[in-house]
Amino acid sequence: MNRRTLILGTAGHVDHGKTTLVRALTGTDTDRLEEEHRRGISIELGFAHLKLADDVRVGVVDVPGHERFVRQMVAGAGGMDLVMLLIAADEGVMPQTREHFDVLRLLNVSSGLIVLTKTDLADPELREVVREEVIDLVAGSFLEDAPIVEVSAQTGEGLDELRAQVLELARTAPEKGRSGDFRVPVDRVFAMPGAGVVITGTAWAGSVKVGDSLRLLPTDRAVRVREVQSHGDNVPEAFAGARVALALNGAKKDEVSRGDALVSGDAWVASTVVGVHVTAVVKPAARAPMMKQRVRLHVNHAAREVLARLDIVERDELPFGESAYARLLLEEPLVARPGDSLVLRSYSPTVTVAGGIVLDPSMPERQRRAQAADWLRRCHERGSDEWPWLRVERNGLRGRLKAEVRADFSMLGYSRKQVDSAIQSAQNDGTVITLGDSLVAAPVVAAAAEEILTRVRAHQAKEPMTPGLSKEELRSALGFTGAGQVFSQFLQRLASHHPLFVLDDRVRADTAAPELNVSQEEKLAAFEERVSQAQPAYQATEEEMRSPELRLLVGAGRVEKLGGRLLTTRSRMDGLIARTGEHFAKNDALEVSDVKEWTGGSRKFVVPMLEWLDHQEVTRFDGGKRRRGPRCP
């Protein structure tokens, strides 16, 4: 059976009957603290289970309604799939009704219904007045066309209709993704005899099994799952959209806190600089202060609340009802992913002033505002699913390892098959190219090709007789940090699409060889003739060693450097290689005296020649003797 598992939450003003209604629906009293019973109000989140059908199971999160406990309400609302907005029929819309409703919209809760409670205390005329008030409140929102159910937890009026409406919504509401990384924000932690440390929370993504290894953030502690409960039952595996309790190995009770996150996967980080798109509420509470640059705020995300400074990167203030890109400079780290919603509340007085969508969960600590604004705008326009590719592009020619890109996609909820498909598709359509173990964005490659062409052409214009610009110089200029072999492969790839020629350790543009005028050709021929005529080798001057003619002759493979300032022609060395091959057909070793006899040269010339043969692997120096090398003919 494909069972749907979702979270149903409550929202509404204090004393509007949320906890009483949950008890009537589920039989569970979600007020578990003695203080809650003594004061008659909810202080902490409460939890219950509601089985609506064999294939539909709902976890119920009951939130406090008092203005002092909006923090707890936000923690509960973050994991809701469905919401019941409760308004007492005898009181109507109240301040926390409005603030809770703002929170729901800011957290992008998208499905729910409206419940008029305490109908036994209101006559039909008053009920109708409250109904109209509620319709005005939700106009233009996700609840605009939602059912309005009138109930009394005392008499039972409307409870059956409410169950039926919740079941209908639960069958059609979008479920949380079960693919990719597992994530659960911790909203309770306690120790149990025999079980050790136990955490509870709403699973936001993925799945978890007994024996899984997870990371506890922000401390980045490795833990293992000993036991899994979902909706009060021991289960081998639990999925996103369910309330879960996990018994853990690897952590003590005082090492886990409410607001921590348990995750799988390697891409998750705890960051103190989070990039967001912020939208200020349209009609804030009367006491709400204007959001100006560097204002101090409470940031509520999942089950965590931290203080932060708001760095608006586009302007100096954010009027109510408007949006902007910003960085949250946090006093404690948050664990988020692109697309997460959060709520911003003013420092004092503490009222809800804005909501935000996470665009980049971990931004550089030092970055110019203009650069930050441009980056956040691109993240926003491209969408969270493009964030892994944007990170590849931002890394320039370094790119990102395939394993890192896979981890980014898995964090976003992609299955292994979906990740493989996304990477293969990007490679097939040319969005990225592979360099070694990394992926590099096509726009970066195109920009690098243009820069290489510009640099090589400038070099050739300045030194027209040059054989090309050295690979190492290019590599350094581009800031390429990969291996030299990978850079050579990269240049070969560029050469297949651009007028570039890779010649050994040098690169030319437009032509494989310099186009010389008559005077330059004469200088080149004269230099080569001097080298050719010298027996057995030519000793060049310091000026000749620095000359463009020599670089060109060496680059073209017509002249060889033997060592120091000794030069000879390649044709002469090819003859020496052939003679060496003939020698080894009859002899086991090659002596200095043999080459002295062949060339008529002194030891000063012969030893550099032999060392050149060693370097070319024509010979190998072994035990004081030169033997046949692997490349000897």
Which residues are designated catalytic?
15, 18-19, 66
Mind giving me the DSSP string for 521-538? HHHHHHHHHHHHHSSS-E
- H-run or E-run covering 606: helix 603-615
User: Which residues are bridge partners to 470 per DSSP?
Assistant: 506
The residue type found at 392 is V
Cβ atoms of 358 and 308 within 8 Å: the answer is: no
CA-CA distance, 284 to 318, in Å (whole number)? 13
Q: Which two tokens stand for residue 157?
A: 């009026």
Instruction: Respond yes or no on whether the N-terminal peptide bond of residue 289 is cis (omega within 30° of 0).
Output: no
Map tokens 């809701």 to a residue: 80
Q: How far apart are CA 501 and CA 498, in angstroms?
A: 9
- Positive/negative CA dihedral, 446, 447, 452, 457: positive
User: Could you tell me if 434 and 490 are in contact, meaning their C-beta atoms sit under 8 angstroms apart?
Assistant: no
Alpha-helical (H) ranges within 268-386 are 369-382
Name which of 357, 361, 325 is nearest 342 in CA terms.
357
Looking at the DSSP assignment, which residues form a beta bridge with residue 279?
A: 323, 355
Instruction: Calculate the alpha carbon distances from 567 to 564, 597, 619 in Å.
Output: 9, 19, 20
Look-up of token digits 């349209």: 282
Copy the structure tokens of residue 418: 């979906």
Q: Give the span between the Cα atoms of 537 and 565, in whole angstroms.
A: 10
Cα 185 from Cα 76, distance rounded (Å): 10
What CA–CA distance (Å, rounded) separates 117 from 505? 81
Count how many residues are written for the chain: 633
